[in-house]
Amino acid sequence: MSKILRVNMTDRTVRYEDVPEKYRFLGGRGLTSSILYDEVDPTCHPLGPNNKLVFAPGILAGTNAPTSGRISAGAKSPLTGGIKESNAGTPWPQSVNKLGIKAIIVEGYPKDGGWWGLHITKDGATFFPADEYAGRGLYEVFPLLFERFGKKADICAIGVAGEMKMSMAGVCYNDAQGRPSRYSGRGGLGAVMGSKGLKFIVVDATGGPGVEIANPALYEQGRKKVLEALRQHDITKPKGGLHTYGTAVLVNILNEAGGYPTRNFREGRFEGAAATSGEAVFETNKRRLGKELYNHACHPGCVIQCSNTYYDEQGNEIVSVVEYESTWALGANCGIDNLDAIARLIWLCNDIGLDTIETGGTLAVAMDAGLLSFGDWQGAIRLVDEEIRKGTPLGRILGNGAAFTGKAFGWIRVPACKGQTMPAYEPRAVTGIGVTYATSPMGADHTAGYTIAPEILSVGGKADPFDVKKADLSRNFQITTAFLDSSGHCLFVAFAILDNPSGYEGLVEECAGVLGADWTTDDVMRIGKEIMDKELAFNRAAGFTKAHDRVPEFMKYEPLPPHNVVWTVPDEEMDAVWW
């Protein structure tokens, strides 16, 4: 029987609790948001004693369902001031679920200084002093932890950015090869973990009970449907778009559509797009290594395998992974077209414990305000490695994100919603994603309702990217995504299941089979809406109003090349999403 592990950082005690009946059919985002809604005062200080940090593996994590190793981390966000869920693909939640732990709730506030780690095995959870690892890069620290706790361990950690409680600090996990490269990056959850004095959660599932499957036949029926859908779709199949070029396969697609934000959202096309794309990663590796190199899985059981590795001229690894959002944020958004420099910046973010999207957005705002010139990759590396890493006064300004940096420099061109910088899709050229950015309770977040699928990729139907009537589209995507984020599946399975009704049915059957729920596809919108309602209620209690569901003002009067369009979605359409 699954348990909830409650970790009190005030007196450094732990206890296992029975799962309440109301949480029985929840997992992932559905569980993190429900616990926050039930237990956290929406008006509390995000870094204070009354906030809580919740980790919940997806429903399917730890099973053999394809591409299902997702963890949801949730807390009140120091970046947005609202509820936050940020998920990642990593072996860590698979180990947590295999130990029969449905959620880990980190609460309380340390009375003394110092850093602590938590080691969880089949025999229980114990604390260990972690001061010796503080102030060091995660690429140095992770091998030391694997040496100490064994190769079968999986690690959840914060870097020095989290130690300094910077609002763009993420929570880091190991990938399948042990790299510190998988992140619940968005929303500053690493700062919340740092405020608790918790440096690591190390999990070893050896000898654990495994994941209990209530209805094995239904689960297996669904698993086969999802697997077949993934193997057939051009985007997710072996040697398909994601397996070959990674998520950065989208660079040239969005650039051609004129929706690829460039130089702090001043333009919709970047002249260096081709040189910093997934195709460029593939071809550069081929030239440098003398062979074609396809991508790998970020966690066991991933059949999409979209994680690339980028190498230097000598054939040495620079970094894994050069994601679409990362190569955009630290590339086009900053006017940088040097792929080696972008890879180095990604490595630095991984090492320090930073969200690559917020870091790139912050650097772009700082460049726009005159701190650096667009394209100055040497200056960007210096700011990240010498200012942010060392926590200088300038580094602490930058470390608190794009919106904070914009205020510090008196700069009005800050592409953020609810305090969180926008990802790699330009709202003026793709209106549906702009509606999602503005109305999601999570702040500007493409994964909250990925309308890019029908607007740009013609997946799940076709929508005109310039049409202003997008309330229904965004709302439906946000609701469906809330369910998907609870399942443990990667968001990328959506490409296959949106175009394959059998795959969609299989997703629901897998989850229902594990939980023993009586679900059909008709329940997806109901469950997703229940999750969204809790998140929206939390934010409204925290003080959010209709005025927070808006894009930045400059987008309403600044035309975006090459289409020379401004944001024209009426406020009434925005309010129609949730109000």
pLDDT at 101: 98
Taking all residues of the chain, what is their mean pLDDT, rounded to a whole number?
97
Helix (H) or strand (E) holding 496: helix 493-498
Are 325 and 340 in a shared domain? yes
pLDDT, mean of residues 330-356: 98
pLDDT at 456 over 90: yes
Question: Residue 169 is part of which domain span?
Answer: 3-203
Q: Is residue 239 domain-resident?
A: no
Neighbouring-strand partners of residue 155: 202
Are 52 and 15 in a shared domain? yes
Q: What is the dihedral of CA 360, 363, 367, 373, to 10 degrees?
A: -80
Q: pLDDT of 275-326, one tens digit each?
A: 999 999 999 999 999 999 999 999 999 999 999 999 999 999 999 999 999 9
Report residue 497 as tokens: 């299941």
Are 77 and 162 in a shared domain? yes
pLDDT at 106: 98
Are 420 and 406 in a shared domain? yes
The CATH number that applies at residue 313 is 1.10.569.10
Sign of the four-CA dihedral 314, 320, 324, 326: negative
* Distances 164 to 80, 134, 191, 392 between C-alpha atoms, Å: 18, 11, 7, 11
User: What is the total residue count of the chain?
Assistant: 579
Q: Tell me how far apart the alpha carbons of residues 421 and 362 are, in angstroms, rounded to a whole number.
A: 8
pLDDT at 563 over 80: yes
Q: Tell me how far apart the alpha carbons of residues 71 and 74 are, in angstroms, rounded to a whole number.
A: 10
Q: Tell me how far apart the alpha carbons of residues 433 and 414 are, in angstroms, rounded to a whole number.
A: 17
pLDDT at 113: 87
Given 424, 440, 475, the domain boundary residue is 424
* DSSP assignment string, 418-450: TTEE--SS-TTTSHHHHHHHHH-TTSS-GGGS-
The CATH number that applies at residue 188 is 3.60.9.10
Q: Tell me how far apart the alpha carbons of residues 514 and 226 are, in angstroms, rounded to a whole number.
A: 15
Q: Is residue 226 domain-resident?
A: no
Are 457 and 354 in a shared domain? no
Domain count along the chain: 3
Type of residue found at 447: T
Q: pLDDT of 49-85, one tens digit each?
A: 999 999 999 999 999 999 999 999 999 999 999 999 9
3-class SS at 514?
A: helix
The CATH number that applies at residue 545 is 1.10.599.10
Q: What is the pTM of this model?
A: 0.98
Contact 223, 66 (CB under 8 A): yes
Q: Is residue 453 domain-resident?
A: yes
Given 424, 455, 475, the domain boundary residue is 424
Q: Please name which of 228, 336, 325 lies closest in space to residue 273, comparing C-alpha atoms.
A: 336
Are 332 and 460 in a shared domain? no
Are 330 and 365 in a shared domain? yes
pLDDT at 1: 76
3-class SS at 324?
A: helix
Q: pLDDT of 111-122, one tens digit each?
A: 998 999 999 999
Q: pLDDT of 78-104, one tens digit each?
A: 999 999 999 999 999 999 999 999 999
Q: Tokens 């070029």 map to which residue?
A: 245
Are 112 and 128 in a shared domain? yes
Q: Is residue 324 domain-resident?
A: yes
Q: Is residue 503 domain-resident?
A: no
Report residue 255 as tokens: 């650039």
Are 48 and 78 in a shared domain? yes
Are 442 and 553 in a shared domain? yes
Are 543 and 561 in a shared domain? yes
Q: Is residue 259 domain-resident?
A: yes
CA 195-198-204 angle, to 5 degrees, is: 155
Q: Please name which of 82, 89, 54, 53 lies closest in space to residue 485, comparing C-alpha atoms.
A: 89
Are 447 and 393 in a shared domain? no
pLDDT, mean of residues 145-152: 98
pLDDT at 552 over 90: yes
Burial class (CB in 10 A: 0-12, 13-18, 19+), 110: middle
CB atoms within 10 A of CB 312: 14
pLDDT at 353: 98
CB atoms within 10 A of CB 407: 13
Q: Please name which of 503, 450, 453 lies closest in space to residue 232, comparing C-alpha atoms.
A: 503
Q: Is residue 123 domain-resident?
A: yes
Q: Is residue 224 domain-resident?
A: no
